[in-house]
Amino acid sequence: MNRKYFLNTLNNSNKPFIIYKTLKGFDVYTDFSKKIILNNKNIIKFLNRKFTQKSKFKDTDLMIGFFGYEILNNLIGISLPKQKSINFPKGIFYKPETKVNLKEKFFYSQNSSLKKNKRFNININQNSYTKIFNKFKKKIRSGETYQIKICTKYKNTSTINALDFFNRLAKTNLAPEAFLIRDKDFSIISCSPENLITKKGYFISTKPIAGTLKKTKKLNKRKALNFFRNNIKETKEHNMIVDMERNDLSRICKPGSVKIKIEKKVEEYKDLYHYVSLIIGKLQNNIKNIDIIRAMMPGGSVIGCPKISTLNLLNHQEKENRNIYTGSFGLIKFNGDMRFNIIIRSILNYKNISEISVASGVVVDSNAKHEFNENYIKAKALIDLYK
């Protein structure tokens, strides 16, 4: 197989495929023998499936795909009011029969796109955002929530080459949880930086991100770290999210096993710096996959805290489905191991409509204009692909 042109050949075919970032390059999955479209009824059966007990597993003994935001809410008993919807599936998982490992130097595609539209419409302008912001500030002062993430969407009409977009995004803004799904009627392109679940045997970890700083020529990682450490708002936000993720892990882990392994480091991306921690734990005996998903999803760092009351506030304020945004993409291996991210910094292109969703955190010390502008900073690397 000529690996240099493998992706182009695959892209020019009608076959769906998935690309997932790894430590050494990219895994490409295709030739799917099963495609399970999830709904609120079959997700329980999907997550409760019994794995085959065998000594040796193939690289393709897994299911790979995504959970949307709505189905994750339903899974933990939170119903959403009627919202504007594009009727995109609530989740899809695939069983691959082919897996190909590509090193980054082989990551190649034709620089082509179809009918790109440079102009995006935003669903909430700054005045509307400020009104929602002030409403949530009152909820924070009354103790109903301590931090809450307001979602804004950028939309346009475009026919895109998803592989070209992902290729350019990987070259300019490669993130550790980046992925691409290219199916017949939709594509998802993501430069997600945030790992929500890594499970190997009885050991599990999560890597919350809370804290964003726009890059400038005068900044470097050391100066960004000093900024985060000396900024009361960013420190409060980070501490709250880390505490919530520790509590989520503690629900499924052995007492005393949940620990912060890496605390408050800075990661660098194309347009911004992030404030990141890593939390680990050891699972209790007889914990099932559905227990893990319910405990950890939706990821708290992109919702706010406390999780349940904050989700209810968000869902009754937002007028549109989030679809994939703040859902989770990843894989479940047939031996029970799993890896899932949080779907952020992503494009959903469905029926030639492109949708980019972003959110910033509101705490008692937040400023509406700053948070509104932060949303654009997070979306910029994706919006630039349409130029």
Q: What distance in Å separates the CA atoms of residue 17 and residue 162, rounded to the nearest whole number? A: 11
pLDDT score recorded for residue 255? 96
Residue 162 confidence class, pLDDT cut points 50, 70, 90: very high
Q: Containing domain of residue 200, as a range?
A: 3-386
252-256 contact pairs (CB < 8 A, 24+): 252/204, 252/281, 252/283, 252/284, 252/287, 252/291, 252/292, 252/295, 253/204, 253/281, 253/282, 253/283, 253/284, 254/281, 254/282, 254/283, 254/284
pLDDT surpasses 90 at 291: yes
pLDDT averaged over every residue in the chain: 89
What pTM does this model have?
0.92
Q: What distance in Å separates the CA atoms of residue 267 and residue 191, rounded to the nearest whole number? A: 14
Answer for the pair 66, 329: CB distance below 8 angstroms, yes or no: yes
Q: How far apart are the first and last CA of the chain?
A: 34
Q: What total of structural domains would you count in the chain?
A: 1
| Model pLDDT for residues 174-223, shown as the tens digit of each residue | 889 999 999 999 999 999 989 999 999 999 999 998 888 888 888 999 99
Could you give the C-alpha distances from 254 to 202, 283, 286, in angstroms and in order? 10, 6, 11
Residue whose C-alpha is closest to residue 159's, from 202, 125, 214, 113: 113
Could you give the C-alpha distances from 250 to 51, 205, 257, 259, 280, in angstroms and in order? 25, 11, 8, 10, 10
Residue 248 confidence class, pLDDT cut points 50, 70, 90: very high
CATH of the domain at 156: 3.60.120.10
Token pair recorded at residue 86: 């594009």
Please give the torsion angle defined by the CA atoms of residues 323, 236, 233 and 382, in that order, rounded to the nearest 10 degrees. Answer: -30
% of residues, the chain, pLDDT over 70: 94
Residues 6+ apart with CB under 8 A from 295: 248, 249, 251, 252
| Burial readout 253-278 (b: 16 or more C-beta within 10 A, e: otherwise) | beeebbeeeeebebbebebbbbbbbb
pLDDT surpasses 70 at 304: yes
Q: What distance in Å separates the CA atoms of residue 356 and residue 185, rounded to the nearest whole number? A: 17
pLDDT surpasses 90 at 89: yes
Token pair recorded at residue 191: 């430069």
pLDDT surpasses 80 at 343: yes
Answer for the pair 52, 118: CB distance below 8 angstroms, yes or no: no
Instruction: Return the HEC string of 10-56.
Output: HHHCCCCEEEEECCCEEEEEEEEEEEEECCCCCHHHHHCCCCCCCCC
Residues 6+ apart with CB under 8 A from 92: 35, 36, 37, 38, 65, 66, 181, 183
Q: By three-state DSSP, how is residue 203 classified? A: strand
Token pair recorded at residue 229: 């450490």
